[in-house]
Structure 1
Amino acid sequence: MRAAPTALRSIPGVSKVQWITDRRVALWVDSAAMGAPFQVQVLLARDWNAKPDATFPALYMLDGLRARDDESGWTIETDAASFYADKNVNVILPVGGQSSFYSDWLEPDNGKFYQLETFLMKELPPVLENSLRTTTTRGVIGLSMGGTSAMALTERNPGFFKFAGSFSGILTTTSLGMPQAVQYAMNDAGGFSAAKMWGPPSNPAWAAHDPYVNADKLKGVSLYVSSGSGMTGPYDQPSGIPGVSTNYAGMGLEILSRLTSQSFATKLNKLGIPAQINYRPSGTHSWPYWQFEMHQAWPQVANALGVEANAPACSVGGAIAAVANANPWLGGCVTGEYGVAGGVAQDYRNGRIFFSSGTGAQVVAGMIGGAYQAAGGPAGQLGLPTTSESPAPDGRGRFNHFQNGSIYWTPQTGAHPVWGAIRDEWVRQGWERGPLGYPVADEVNTPGKPGAVQGFEVGAMYYSPTTGTNAVQGLIMGKYGQLGYENSWLGFPKTSEIGVKDGGRFNRFEGGNIYWSPLSGAWSIKNGPIFDAWGSQNYENGRLGFPVGDEFPINGGVQQNFQFGNITLIGGRAEIH
């Protein structure tokens, strides 16, 4: 019942790993500097699956001032996941860091004590290099706050990045009025104080993080700088005033970006440092323009990182071609066919197709694809897919069946594999339309005792070699957990839930039972004299009714109360009252 091993299910220095798709993974990387894990998502390189021994350059992509804690703006607001699907770089997306400027702060503020320069430059790289097949060839792109940071981090860490790109960045932080503008923006985005970040404007930390002041340290780096003009562009809604869009804040910020970018570019020119400078004739401070620049910058990024700008041609044929043609949402192929355990696979922009003569050609994609990758893919416990992704009969979820199990997904529960004895019993009870509903967690080994457990929407399924596979659910599950699950005196369940009179239910366990009814609640009763005495009265059907409490100590013994009486155990002798 042990879960299949995979190199990216447990990573040194990472407290949690979550596969989002087969080529997008979220890592909660431990940070000693910040005293807590920090989430980083990685879009894995095109050939990650096809060439398992290959390593890939890294492209860091930094977010803006209003960075969210759940997902990078690059994957929320742009087509980054699809765009980089045929690029041979690992795209590194720090998640969070609102108003941080990706720097090491002097003091904590508003519940945050950012040390993001230390994290990104020192704590994160060993994880990427040791566990995600990432090389030390790196580039960085940022928008707005992230553009400022892309240049500042490159200057402050010589040799770390070979490419640095700023899209609408504020590229001077110490010129007249700029500290005040930074303070206003940080307060507006999260209520942060710039003084907590770098101290008062007279503090040397301000100049130390100013891209303009330190521009001479960019020699030898491939540079890309862009900004709009603030005027209404192709992605803006006109306001009715010529040249002015309805995005008034975005207009002002882009004008500021243009002015500071021009100053920065002028200094680079005086220093003899080449850079690709793009002053767009229109455009405001908003995501559609940064997506455009991401596409435009790619050939230069690819050249700097030493990868091909255009993906090699790939062909589709045989049974895989028929399935690809029937599922145009997969997008075009990004690799040729390559061997996997038991068959072949081919990667597409939005998923994979697997084929063997015994299983046919099947599509695995999305979060189900992520769960499949986490479970070891074709070489793991599930084996090859035997169906493509299909809607579940209840209309709420989706699933793929595999040679040795299934993966089920809903928007509420995510995607989780079900296999072995637990799956067999779940199937017997009615799949997702049975009493447990959908899986909400992967199967794990039970701590302290040989066995396994998997969480479902309405309880859990337990397996042990001695008791088999049984479900515990609802308020009985609540009582079981209160007492310590399988490590308590109850041990593993010996039955799934059984119905009794008045709508009541119970489970048998190795050391006793838990009974529940609408009127009495859920209570445990140990195997032994009290249980035997209760049984002599025909259990819940007799004159005592259901238990209304757990066993508790009294003078000289213990007592258990029932709906219509109690049983005491004193000196080994049970008495019914």
Structure 2
Amino acid sequence: MRVGLATEDRRRSRATFRTKVVGALAAMLVLPIAAGLTTAGTAAAAPAPAQAAPAVTQNPTGAAVTKVDWLSERRVALWVNSPAMGTPIQVQILLARDWNVNPSASFPSVWMLDGLRATDNENAWTYETDAESFYADKNVNVILPVGGQSSFYSDWLEPDNGKNYQWETFLTKELPPILEKDWRTTQTRGVVGLSMGGTSAMFLTARNPGFFKFAASLSGILTTTSLGMPQAIQFAMTDAGGYNSAAMWGPPSNAQWAAHDPYALAEKLKGVSLYVSSGSGTTGPYDQPSGIPGVSTNYAGMGLEILARLTSQTFATKLNQLGIPAQVNYRPSGTHSWPYWQFELHQLWPQLANAIGVEVEKPACGTSGEIGATAAANGWIGDCITPEYSVAGGLAQDFRNGRIYFTSGTGAQPVAGRIAGAYMNTGAAAGPLGFPRTPELGTPDGRGRFNHFQNGSIYWTPQTGAHPVSGDILAEWSAQGWEGGPLGYPTADEIATPGKPGKVQGFEIGAMYSSANGTHAVLGMIMGKYGELGWENGWLGFPKSNEVPIKDNGRFTEFEGGNIYWSPGTGAWSVENGPLFDGWKSVGYEGGRLGFPISDKFDIPGGVQQNFQFGYITVIGDKTEVH
């Protein structure tokens, strides 16, 4: 559970992409573009003037954080409402090593840009590479924009495919004030991008002088206006989400193409620490060889990396002509794929660290006492990255893959991954759960993991996520058999019920309610009917019992305003307290001559009626009749 989110859908999309472009890429793109890139210049209009550096001391745009969700002890997701794009944009942050050790400090940042197939769920740097672990001991805030498929992180001329992309405005104007004010981030920044993100890293740096002190392109396309390149970009964008490049920058003759061309903007990169890398496209150490020497089975990755190499060489030549230094790394092999970008992430770090003014190597740290013994017994937690520090009446120490908390009453206990994120969402040791009193343990069914805390527990499965359970709801859930009972695992955090004093928490098979009537579970089809009738704010009110078994494998739950009955043959139906219920009671409930209800009450002229398996009841005025 200490790894990133599932990646199967993304892998399938990449496999589909490879199939589509095996022949087309080489025939349609590589050869004509390569011919165009051998020249020193570009066949396009002159570049538009670079934009002035954005003001980041205030946020006049109205961008604001609408949601915060901790994903681990040092990884947090923000949803930032972007006025420019008209929608919340997710941004994840890997917090600096000394975030907790030095709570008054602010930190430089590294911005990690995704590739053309960026998803709206997670930036691929966090699950395709070891970036989260690698940056754990680095004293920088790592900024991970999420989404932007085929966007090139630019401001588009018009909406397309349901998206109003205004990424440059979001990244350079709307987001920085939030990071500086609330997330202790300085104005010293570096940017690293792969493929599409590499292109964007260079032109965003050039278009916004002073915004980034370091820029790295890993297999980026570094000229967008050379012969055939607009057509190549359109081909790729069509495949990656069905986007139209004309909505982005207009037709190829539009000056916006040159205004976003790293080659055309190269002079604007003076004074920036630059890193450019690419492979050759031939089979490398991370590729699966085909039957043809030098050719891997990653055919699309081969062609794309050839393009990246050609454009990177042309770009680097331009930098050299302008007297702009750059670290250029042309690997002798390798395709357009993540293992090589992970390699480059490690390679570029010393240059990046020096450019933004942080140490390259982590300071020495050690462990001792009970925290040290717990770390030694839990090797998965990795090496220490901070010394011990004080938290809420106890101690904590950060490690590469988690955190260990200590008090004399609870001992030293590790918390990590999604459980650590849920713990942070509650306020961690200073919150209502208190300190952990167990390490992370596996559940008996093998599906999940959990930690017990002083005042509750957090349970996690890949399907349900991590959620705390505490108080009366925890007591009743445990009495019913924990995750092995009728409710299964929690699927949501506990919340206050709207409109009436009470609490509710969602589980796999229903929900647990706590009110003045006690704490009770509502399950399955009965839960469905309860929701249909308005939950606790409907006429049924709060539950007054757990589910009770009755004849024919049926069930019922009692509520303030009546009951809901279910059986396999009839489904779930409510019976309201009062004349209808009393009439049914008079003939023996479901065990009597009417059997189970087969409808809710409904209006008839002058009154109401409810149908049962073998009859019906009417209430007209003050007269109740059983038929």
Tell me how far 1:50 sits from its aligned partner: 3.0
Distance 1:559 1:305 in 2: 76
Structure 2 residue matching 1:141: 3-state secondary structure: strand
State yes or no: 1:378 paired with 2:397: no
Distance 1:265 1:291 in 2: 22
Structure 1 240/503 Cα, relative in aligned 2: closer, same or farther at 3 Å? Answer: closer
Q: Which residue of 2 aligns with 1:559?
A: 609
Deviates more, 1:246-255 or 1:146-155: 246-255
TM-score normalised per structure 1: 0.94
Distance 1:176 1:80 in 2: 35
- 1:268-307 counterparts in 2 under 5 A? 268-307=319-358
Q: Which residue of 2 aligns with 1:152?
A: 203
Distance 1:395 1:38 in 2: 35
- Does the CA contact (< 8 Å) of 1:473 and 1:497 recur in 2? yes
- Does the CA contact (< 8 Å) of 1:342 and 1:384 recur in 2? no
Tell me how far 1:241 sits from its aligned partner: 4.4
Distance 1:42 1:389 in 2: 24
Report how many residues are paired.
566
For 1:418, the aligned partner's letter is: V
Q: Which residue of 2 aligns with 1:7?
A: none
Q: Which residue of 2 aligns with 1:209?
A: 260
Distance 1:219 1:100 in 2: 26
1:511 to 540, 561, 564: 561
2:131 to 70, 80, 89: 80
1:314 to 355, 365, 370: 365
Deviates more, 1:564-573 or 1:200-209: 564-573
Structure 2 residue matching 1:316: 3-state secondary structure: coil
- 1:105-144 counterparts in 2 under 5 A? 105-144=156-195
Q: Which residue of 1 aligns with 2:618?
A: 568
For 1:556, the aligned partner's letter is: G
Q: Which residue of 2 aligns with 1:521?
A: 571
Distance 1:12 1:180 in 2: 35
Q: Percent identity?
A: 74
- Does the CA contact (< 8 Å) of 2:63 and 2:83 recur in 1? no
Structure 2 residue matching 1:409: 3-state secondary structure: strand
Q: Which residue of 1 aligns with 2:300?
A: 249
In the TM superposition, structure 1's runs of 4+ consecutive aligned residues that sit over 4 Å from their partners are none
TM-score normalised per structure 2: 0.87
1:428 to 472, 476, 479: 479
Q: Which residue of 1 aligns with 2:31?
A: none
Q: Which residue of 2 aligns with 1:496?
A: 546
Q: Which residue of 1 aligns with 2:317?
A: 266
Distance 2:419 2:441 in 1: 11
Deviates more, 1:344-353 or 1:546-555: 546-555
Structure 1 residue matching 2:226: 3-state secondary structure: coil
Q: Which residue of 2 aligns with 1:8?
A: none
Deviates more, 1:129-138 or 1:145-154: 129-138
2:582 to 532, 546, 563: 532
- Does the CA contact (< 8 Å) of 2:63 and 2:175 recur in 1? no
Structure 1 233/521 Cα, relative in aligned 2: closer, same or farther at 3 Å? Answer: closer
For 1:269, the aligned partner's letter is: N
Distance 2:586 2:237 in 1: 73
For 1:571, the aligned partner's letter is: G
Q: Which residue of 2 aligns with 1:227?
A: 278
Structure 1 497/240 Cα, relative in aligned 2: closer, same or farther at 3 Å? Answer: closer
Distance 1:28 1:452 in 2: 26
Structure 2 residue matching 1:37: 3-state secondary structure: strand
Tell me how far 1:399 sits from its aligned partner: 0.7
C-alpha distance after superposition, 1:122-176 (max 9, x if no partner): 2222332233222222111001111110011111122211111111111111122
Distance 1:453 1:344 in 2: 33
C-alpha distance after superposition, 1:203-256 (max 9, x if no partner): 011011011111121122221112223333332334454444333332332232
Gaps of 5+ in 2: 1-61
Distance 1:520 1:189 in 2: 49
Distance 1:342 1:487 in 2: 41
For 1:525, the aligned partner's letter is: V
Distance 2:271 2:89 in 1: 31
Tell me how far 1:53 sits from its aligned partner: 3.0
Gaps of 5+ in 1: 1-10
For 2:109, the aligned partner's letter is: A
- Does the CA contact (< 8 Å) of 2:413 and 2:437 recur in 1? yes
Tell me how far 1:51 sits from its aligned partner: 3.0
Structure 1 308/528 Cα, relative in aligned 2: closer, same or farther at 3 Å? Answer: same
Deviates more, 1:281-290 or 1:244-253: 244-253
Distance 2:585 2:283 in 1: 82
Q: Which residue of 1 aligns with 2:445?
A: 394
Q: Which residue of 1 aligns with 2:5?
A: none
State yes or no: 1:61 paired with 2:112: yes
